[in-house]
A and B are shown apart, each in its own frame.
Chain A
């Protein structure tokens, strides 16, 4: 059994909560006491149906306002896979939450109401998922029951979406007609839509091929922590702990450590008491080298002829996440892989309109939930790859030094 992380974006109107509720119910991830609590609340509110949205609205402030504010993580499993859902709100004022949910997702699920067709919101969700390089995209055309399960309606929406995503980077797209309320094509194929020959949503989630999404070629091992027991038993032990970002590491491999550029060979790869023959993403291991080099946190182990670019000038798409806008000359803390530095905002090249993809070059600042292309100068070298090649060595966060909060998320160009 493996693990699939997926992000959903949308509002109650699209039937997103109903869909998630149904996936959880049908995979038996919702318990009786949770369902009873939701039924009781629905009754108290005078609804004549069980509002499954209440299952996902975790915080009292959200229940009071009847909206989802934050990213909620949900879990369910089938015999084939364990799933982690990052459930995010759909409105434009919560773009930062969508970006957060999409950052770790293998798959993005966009919902549209069959009666409405594509909306500005569904296009924006597709843009964000593409920007965050979520490798698989599913468009679920919901409420098919309300359009008489009409193939023509579905085809129009599908065609429009396929055309729209040709402007984006969407490696894998599936479009599925469903009725979340009635369960059509959610877990089992629907009899009401014999014209649809694809798989049900659940079948797709269980079988979508994610194994080749990872980069097994370019070795990137950010050193997180140096393990030095200093005990009698392990007196000379010195190992470099980290999580493999990409590539496959093997004992005997010739490697280079950045930023020093010194080379050595891998002596052994430890995983607790075992030694492993190969380490691949996302394994957390301890790498030992044959030579006694000066390696510390923030360094990167890679191959001699295949290394990230050491740079102090970073060109990236930045999603801004706080009320006080991002402006040129601003100084921020930056965290990239296991390396922390300070960054100066050199320039905001343009602001991207995430509804139209229009680039506004006259912009002087980036406001809350806005995304733009930004150049930064950092106090020390970062060891970067383009985000489109590597979601780990291509991403960073920006931190306000005064408040300590995370204020921006960056994807390196």
Chain B
């Protein structure tokens, strides 16, 4: 822990200011909205979010559960990290399983739709079943064009949909959490963080993240310019060749869709160094789901995606 020291000029660093803003958001939501939940994927953004939540309510325990949408195709290293965090914080974890949702008919597996996309229906079902009125998400505005215009408090109608043209104005640090029956809020405490801020913060806090963010040997093949993991659920197509390379992941998600990048970075400092000179966005580099169209994210968000 780095103590917050009284500096002569009473200035916070940019990371401290972002941290303070996020903590303020967490407390505001818990004070005003009845049944919050934190969407926890085990990825770096949701880990930073969880760290901020831990700080916001310390020494009390988290006043809300964590919700993970299990695609059935998550990286085992990510699930391990998730379990470690849950145990350390004594948090309650709710798992909403895509496979279960398929089995019970909540979502239909037509063989074409990705697990990542089926998460949306599974997530909305979980939110409705548990009666959650606010779901914290790790989305950042620097990630993608549609996200750049999203509010910190993002209102969702009874169908879980986002209406980008009809968003509530958000002024000062005065958030409006008013809801009607059946509606909910998505809350984005990391709205103003960039990918680099996230890495700097992880390094500063010295917190655990899944090992696949660091360089390791992995059997991969190339598809659409991305490096994907060899896995029974993700069979190679004609012409695709599996080779072993030194790689790391910049994002974690459904392993059939999440690509890795070749990298020698084995420490946080090396990752920070790599991210600061990166010339391609993390989503453009490694997320098949955002590449389908220019408005892929906007469309998925309107339906109720994270």
Contact = CB atoms under 8 A, between A and B. Distances in A.
Given A74-B148, A100-B170, A395-B172, A225 B295 contact: no
Contacts of B59: 227, 229, 231, 233-234, 237
A31 interface: yes
Contact of A276 (B4, B61, B171, B196): B4
B196 A396 contact: no
A297 B31 contact: yes
Given A33-B285, A58-B146, A397 B196 contact: no
Contact of A272 (B1, B196, B284, B294): B1
A214 interface: yes
A397 B171 contact: yes
Most buried by B among A82, A84, A100, A278: A82
B6 A406 contact: no
Interface stretch (A65-73, A113-121, A344-352, A356-364): A65-73
Interface residues of A, number: 79
Interface string B1-40: 1011110011111101111110110011011000000000
Interface of A: prevailing SS: mixed
B56 interface: yes
B179 interface: yes
Interface stretch (A168-176, A188-196, A280-288): A280-288
A227 B23 CA distance: 13
A280 B20 CA distance: 11
A273 to B, nearest CB: 6
A32 B10 contact: no
B203 to A, nearest CB: 14
A182 interface: no
A184 B57 CA distance: 49
Contacts of B16: 283
A24 B240 CA distance: 37
B258 interface: no
Contacts, number: 197
B174 A396 contact: yes
Contacts of A230: 60
Contact of B13 (A2, A225, A391): A2
A209 to B, nearest CB: 10
A273 B51 CA distance: 13
Contacts of A248: 10
Interface residues of B, number: 66
A70 B147 CA distance: 12
B192 A73 contact: yes
A211 B191 CA distance: 24
Interface stretch (B72-80, B97-105, B264-272, B274-282): B274-282
Most buried by A among B18, B172, B285: B172
Interface of B: 1, 3-6, 9-14, 16-21, 23-24, 27-28, 30-31, 54-61, 141-142, 145-149, 164-165, 167-174, 176, 178-180, 191-192, 194, 196-197, 278-281, 284-285, 294-295, 298
26 contacts: A2-B11, A3-B14, A31-B278, A31-B281, A32-B280, A37-B294, A70-B149, A75-B142, A75-B194, A82-B197, A99-B169, A100-B169, A104-B173, A224-B28, A225-B30, A229-B61, A231-B60, A270-B58, A277-B6, A282-B12, A283-B16, A333-B178, A395-B172, A396-B174, A404-B179, A409-B169
Interface of A: 1-3, 31-34, 37, 41, 55-61, 69-75, 77, 81-82, 84, 96-97, 99-100, 103-104, 211, 214, 216, 224-225, 227-231, 233-234, 237, 241-243, 248, 270-274, 276-278, 280, 282-284, 286, 297, 321, 333, 335-336, 338, 391-392, 395-397, 399, 404-406, 409
Given A1-B13, A33-B281, 16 more contacts: A2-B14, A70-B167, A73-B192, A75-B192, A99-B169, A100-B169, A225-B27, A225-B31, A231-B59, A243-B173, A277-B5, A278-B10, A321-B169, A391-B172, A392-B173, A405-B168
